[in-house]
Amino acid sequence: GENVEQHPSTLSVQEGDSAVIKCTYSDSASNYFPWYKQELGKGPQLIIDIRSNVGEKKDQRIAVTLNKTAKHFSLHITETQPEDSAVYFCAAGGGADGLTFGKGTHLIIQP
C-alpha cells in the first residue's frame, strides 16, 4: 500500500515569512495529492490539490509543487498570517481505497 512521510512535524515561522512543508510517497500509481488544513476542534478542509499531470499549482499565497520522478510534493505558504496557524496534512491517492495521509505538520505563526 501507499506510505506517506511528512516533514517537519512542527514548524514555527515569523509572521510574514514563508513556510514549506514536504511530503514523500511510495506508490508510483498515486495520481492525486491534496493538502488539508485542520483547525482546532474541526475536521480537515482541503486548501489545494494537484494531480500527477501537473508540476505546480498556485492559489493566492498557497502553492504546491510535485516531482513525480522523486515521489515528493511540497506545500508553500508565502506571507504567512496568524490565521495560517493550524495542522496541515498532505495525502496521496488515486486508487479506489481512499487517501493515505501524512502524520501532519503543526504550523505556528509567531507574531
Instruction: Name which of 14 and 46 has its Cβ closer to other proteins.
Output: 46
Give the number of other CB atoms < 10 A from CB of residue 24. 18
Instruction: Name which of 10 and 14 has its Cβ closer to other proteins.
Output: 10
- Please choose, from the candidates 30, 34, 27, 50, the residue with its C-alpha nearest in 3D space to the C-alpha of residue 88: 34
Query: Which three-class secondary structure state does DSSP give residue 82?
Result: helix
Least distance to other proteins, CB of residue 14, Å: 26
Least distance to other proteins, CB of residue 45, Å: 7
Q: Judge whether 1 and 101 are in contact, CB under 8 Å.
A: no
Least distance to other proteins, CB of residue 76, Å: 20
Instruction: Name which of 9 and 12 has its Cβ closer to other proteins.
Output: 9
Q: Judge whether 57 and 86 are in contact, CB under 8 Å.
A: no
* Dist CA 91 CA 74 (whole Å): 11
Amino acid found at 76: H
Binding residues vs other proteins (CB under 8 A)? 1, 6, 9, 31-32, 34, 36, 42-46, 49, 51, 89, 93-104
Instruction: Name which of 1 and 111 has its Cβ closer to other proteins.
Output: 1
